[in-house]
Amino acid sequence: MIEFKMPSLGADMEDGTLIEWRKKPGDFVKRGDIIAEIETQKGLIEIEIFEEGKVDQLLLQVGDKVKVGTTIAVINDGAESLPQQKPAIEIPETIKPDETKPMDMESAHESLSHRIKISPLARRMAEDSGIQMGDLTGTGEGGAITREDVELAISAQTSKTEKSKSPVDQSLGIRLAVAAAMSKSNREIPHYYLESRIDMRNALAWLSEMNVKRSPKDRLLPVVLYIKAAALAVKQCPELNAEWKDGLILKKEINIGFVVSLKAGGIIVPAIHNADQKSLDQLMADLNDLIPRARNLKLRSSELSDSTFTLTSIGESGADTLYGIIYPPQTGLIGIGRISEQPWAENGMLDVRSCVSVTLAADHRASDGLSGSRFLSAFNQFLQKPETI
Amino acid sequence: MNREELRTKICGLLKQIAPDTEPEALKDNDKIRDVLGIDSFDALQFIVALDEHLGVDVPEKDYAKTDTLEHLLNYLGEKIH
């Protein structure tokens, strides 16, 4: 048996509210399946499962607020069973204010199995909608739960879900999440900054050459070059692809957190998994998928929790230079300003070239200026030879 | 499609790209991206929409000709006729 815990969705998230179970007891699940939808400050997040097995128990009810790290489901992976006489799991530590004491799961299960009167149709409707039988009030003969009772509960659940998606709440929630993460970063991480100006002539010429042959939907944006170059450069400076938690923890995967600005204000940072191994076309496809979902606050749990290094690009009409704040507990962030024409001196000659200012914000506990410089130098080298990445 | 119909069509496509904005309120010489707050990703989605809905493939070298409604209407008018 495996205890599936409420995952952390970033340093700025402490809890969430269950909106819907997407699986029910008895369902088989595999890695990557969505087991639940949880409302958080960062929107409605699809919670992925990372185990394989059969859902044994779901320990939350729709509307329950739960802290990160709390067991929310039990998955039977075929390994040793939990002792029968006592539940091996802790009852979820919910923070619902009116909860008084944990429910006895065994007796609850027994009660549900033997005492609830419910018609087969109503039972199926309740199960399909993720509604717990214990939540239903029966109005049929002898207190039996009828189809109408389940429909009423479904309607109440839907309105609760809609209410929790109010744009004002979401906007405020995002603002608070950003505030929490940035305050923590500023308080705890001793940042140092390095800056380079990069000649974009080769990169832009190469991109134009690629795009001229492509239809609009297949065109690449300069940002995919940045993402790939950053992923390859950080590979050479592993202390920037890491976490600092009472010591340096190097990360094996290179997952670039890509900062997406939200229309209503605030930012959200979904992860582009294994960016170092993806082609530019794959990275562009990832952006086409991620950006609209990020703006609709419809991301998956792994996309919010797996970033190992952050990239933020201000865009074409933004500021020249961007000094970022590291997303804790990561140890580095690259900030890219807008591309603009600038005077460029080389070999004693003056030229006008498209340039971009690139900054590295790094955690001085994890790395020093020398490795930070190495990173910026590698980033530049990759952009000078875009055909090689 | 006359110029007014084309304008309505363009505003509809912009509304899809930037749903929280009012493209109908754009003046002819307003910089579309600046006024509607469209970033480079959204700008590319708009170019894709022009291709898919109007059959006009705007090459990168012509992006600058689509910066205002007036320029865009002139450009598309030439391409469509």
- With helix as H, strand as E and coil as C, how does B44-78 read? HHHHHHHHHHHCCCCCHHHHHHHCEHHHHHHHHHH
> Looking at domain A191-388, does it have CATH number 3.30.559.10?
yes
3-state secondary structure of A169: helix
Q: How do residues B29-48 score in pLDDT, each as one tens digit?
A: 999 998 998 999 999 999 99
| Long-range contacts formed by B77-80: CB under 8 A, 24+ apart | B77/B3, B77/B6, B80/B1, B80/B6, B80/B54, B80/B55, B80/B56
For residue A176, count other CB atoms closer than 10 A to its CB: 13
B48 touching A (Cβ < 8 Å):
yes
The position carrying tokens 């692809």 is: A241
Question: Is B24 an 8 Å CB contact of chain A?
Answer: no
How many A-B residue pairs are in contact by the CB < 8 A criterion? 39
- In this complex, do B60 and A291 lie within 8 Å of one another by their Cβ atoms? no
Q: A173 pLDDT band (50/70/90 cuts)?
A: confident
Predicted confidence at residue A92, as pLDDT, reads: 43
Inter-chain touch B40–A315, beta carbons under 8 Å: yes
Interface-testing mutation among A204, A263, A341, with chain B (most B C-beta atoms within 10 A): A263
In which band, very low, low, confident or very high, does the pLDDT at A297 lie, cut at 50, 70 and 90? confident
Q: Of A261, A316, A317, which to mutate for an interface test with B (greatest number of B Cβ within 10 Å)?
A: A317
User: Which residues of chain A are within 8 Å of residue B41 when distances are taken between CB atoms?
Assistant: 221, 223, 287, 291
pLDDT tens-digit map of A307-343:
999 999 998 878 999 999 999 999 999 999 999 999 9
Q: Identify whether the C-beta of residue A176 lies closer than 8 Å to the C-beta of residue A40.
A: no
Residue ranges covered by each domain of chain A: 2-115, 191-388
Q: Considering CB atoms only, which of A221, A263, A317 is closest to B41? A: A221
The model's pLDDT over A367-379, given as tens digits with 9 standing for 90+, comes to 999 999 999 999 9
Which pLDDT value is given to residue A146? 77
**A 204-233 → B contacts, CB under 8 A:** 208, 211-212, 215-217, 219, 221-223
Tokens of A148: 């109408």
> Mean pLDDT, chain A, as a whole number?
85
Could you give the number of structural domains in chain B? Answer: 1
Q: Which CATH number fits domain A2-115: 2.60.40.10, 2.40.50.100, 3.40.50.720, 3.90.780.10?
A: 2.40.50.100
* Identity of the residue numbered A238: P
CA A114 vs. chain centroid, Å, equals: 41
CATH number at residue B69: 1.10.1200.10
Give the tens place of pLDDT for each residue, A185-201: 999 999 999 999 999 99
- Are A182 and A172 a contacting pair, CB within 8 Å? no
Range of the domain at B48: 3-80
ipTM of the complex: 0.89
Q: Test A216 with B50 for CB contact under 8 angstroms.
A: yes
Cross-chain residue pair B60–A223, CB shorter than 8 Å: no
Residues of A in contact with B58 (CB under 8 A): 216
Q: Which residue of A has its CA nearest to B47?
A: A216
State whether residue B50 sits within 8 Å of chain A by CB.
yes
What is the share, in percent, of chain A residues with pLDDT greater than 70? 85
End-to-end CA distance of chain B: 9
